[in-house]
Structure 1
């Protein structure tokens, strides 16, 4: 069997020709006899349709995707899935890269992908370390993210809406551009200083 897998994030799914329709068309043209598709946000790791497809794939089957990042959110994660499938006798075809199988050429391509993933990870770590070393030389440097800048009047307005049950706390946080923990800290600080009622 030749299976196709299409995935999009629900945000910005029409960018870069990665919409479900575009992927479905490409996979159909590639000869897929069955296409599995799903959508989820970029922060979600649960992929029930893909996990179910992986369980069904057997020796001699082919999995086709338009790009490697359809399989996983990271190159490393994608490589791990590919290697696992190849070990099971499943051929993986990435339309913008080529066919990956247990032939010497297929194994070489996987090795190159792993090497590039490791190189990318090492370069990111090196740039992060260099950036931190430079930052430490600046006056007033401290570890961690800078404190969130929040318009206090706008913050108080949202707190009032949440208190009156006219807005959910997570929606207030989204509007303010802060996380729930930051919201809680600022609210507690304002209550302690007497600027807000508890």
Structure 2
């Protein structure tokens, strides 16, 4: 059985998620799991997809970076899949761990992907530092203060705080702080 997994990092990447899902459907994946969450966050859909995989199944992703956050994480996933005799297919690389060449390429490409990510983060930090020195960087505008009314409305409608967090995209901690704290949320300078 082909089991598809799709992920984007943010809710703004809806088109990217839809494109991944369409590619997995075109391959005739019988089960699809998808989520919009950062790679470093808890990924429930990935956990469910991995738990669903049985011997002889193949987990399919469109891109390697949609699956693992690092070479170590990729190694853990692949080791778990191999132990359970589950294959892994990465569409954009034409990679299939069903053979020795696919396994080798997976390790090489995983290392390259991690290197690229680390270089991107390094350049990003350098750019932010330069913008701060020039007085051009002010960070992201806080979203929570603009959402207090929406959160309180949902609460009065009886929506649980955890669900409010999912609806608004705010962390549960922020929702609880908005509700339980009389201090207004403000941008920290």
Say whether the fold is shared (TM-score over 0.5): yes
Which whole-Å deviations, capped at 9, do the CAs of 1:156-195 have from their partners, x for residues lacking one?
x6587468x2575738x9399xx537846995249xxxxx
CA contact (8 A) 1:7 1:70 kept: no
Aligned to 2:96: 99
Structure 1: which 5+ runs fail to align? 29-34, 191-198
> What are the within-5 Å matches in structure 2 for residues 39-188 of structure 1?
39-42=34-37, 45-47=43-45, 49-54=48-53, 56-57=54-55, 61-68=56-63, 72=67, 74=69, 76=71, 77-78=73-74, 80-86=76-82, 90-96=86-92, 97-101=94-98, 103=100, 105-139=101-135, 145-146=139-140, 148=142, 161=153, 165-166=156-157, 170=164, 174=168, 179-180=174-175, 183=178, 188=183
* Structure ID, larger Rg: 1
Over the aligned positions, Cα root-mean-square deviation in angstroms equals 4.6
Q: Aligned-pair distance for 1:123?
A: 1.0
Aligned residues: 167
Equivalent position SS for 1:27: coil
TM-score, length basis structure 2: 0.57
Give the TM-score normalised by structure 1: 0.55
Any unmatched runs of 5+ in structure 2? none
Secondary structure class of the residue paired with 1:188: coil
Question: In 2, distance between residues paired with 1:81 and 1:102?
Answer: 17
Contact 1:7 1:39 survives alignment (8 Å): yes
